[in-house]
Amino acid sequence: MQKKYTPALLICRNMKKKFSGVVVPMITPVHADLTIDVPAAEKLVHYLTSNGAAPFILGTTGESASIGRAEKKKLVEATVKAAAGRSIVYAGISGNAVTDSIEDAHHYQDLGADVFVATMTSYYPADADQMLRYFTLLADKVPAPLIIYNIPATTHLSIPLDVVEQLSTHPNIVGFKDSERSVERLERSVSLWKDRSDFAFLTGWAAQSLRALQLGADGIIPSTGNLAPKLYDTLSRSVAEGNGQVAENAQLKADRISEIYQKDRTLSYSLPALKAMMSAYGLCQACMLPPMFQLAADEEKSIKNFTLSQFGDLEAINTIK
């Protein structure tokens, strides 16, 4: 039976589309022994859903490529339990073995996940035809809707928009998340799908959240939303309500928060810095999954102290000031 969601917590500004609004690519809380920190995961899901965001687990920010399949199931189960029907649960199924992705999708649906998100494989090169055939096969086999995820920074492949447009007609493909940094591509994506009631475009380029929403994107997927989900909810609501100044102020503050963990850091160092910031607020431990590692103690302390001095408590970091 299809779930019903409380309108106030659907996080949809464009109510034509089910998959829209603020979707946070959730970090994966772990212990020092590399197992899932289930209580922290449940706490984080509560934090996100109570502040206008839906959780997207097992994505790039969630270190999905470093998590064993048994631990992934634990995370899905904990997330669904904590969300308790208050929001859609997005679950990543990316991998290099399509049979594993399909099998995982069936397990995750049994656990209660609502929609799957998948990148292209990342080991072998692939051309446009192979990408088209891969996602078609995956969509044919998974038991719930699929969102295509483009992130060349990790897959080293860029999915052509013409391929996505062809895939958008598949009855089980419902959206596209694009994390590629290209203004031209962003603008074309919005123009292609903003009027499609059956297909959503969500940007993973958090620095362009405001621009994307103003152009007509259906949703945003910002990693900084792990810290400040309400700030992005304010941004999204303000765009929908035509309050451009509030939306701009929200984007500017989000950029300031993001700069702390992203500036001059590659992805494999920015994610440990993000967890360090979150640990300052008791949202998770700063533990990482190899090949990423927790920051050195002095750097972690510096980041935590700076974050608290600049942004205050959780209520303050989520507020425009």
CA angle 204, 222, 101 (to 5 degrees): 60
Question: Exactly one of 18, 177, 275, 304 is catalytic; which is it?
Answer: 177
5, 149, 232, 261: which one is catalytic? 149
Could you tell me if residue 146 is left (phi over 0), alpha (psi between -120 and 50 degrees) or otherwise beta? beta
Instruction: For residue 177, indicate whether it is catalytic.
Output: yes
The question of whether 269 is a catalytic residue gets the answer no
Distance of CA 57 to the CA centre of its chain: 7
Catalogue the active-site residues: 149, 177
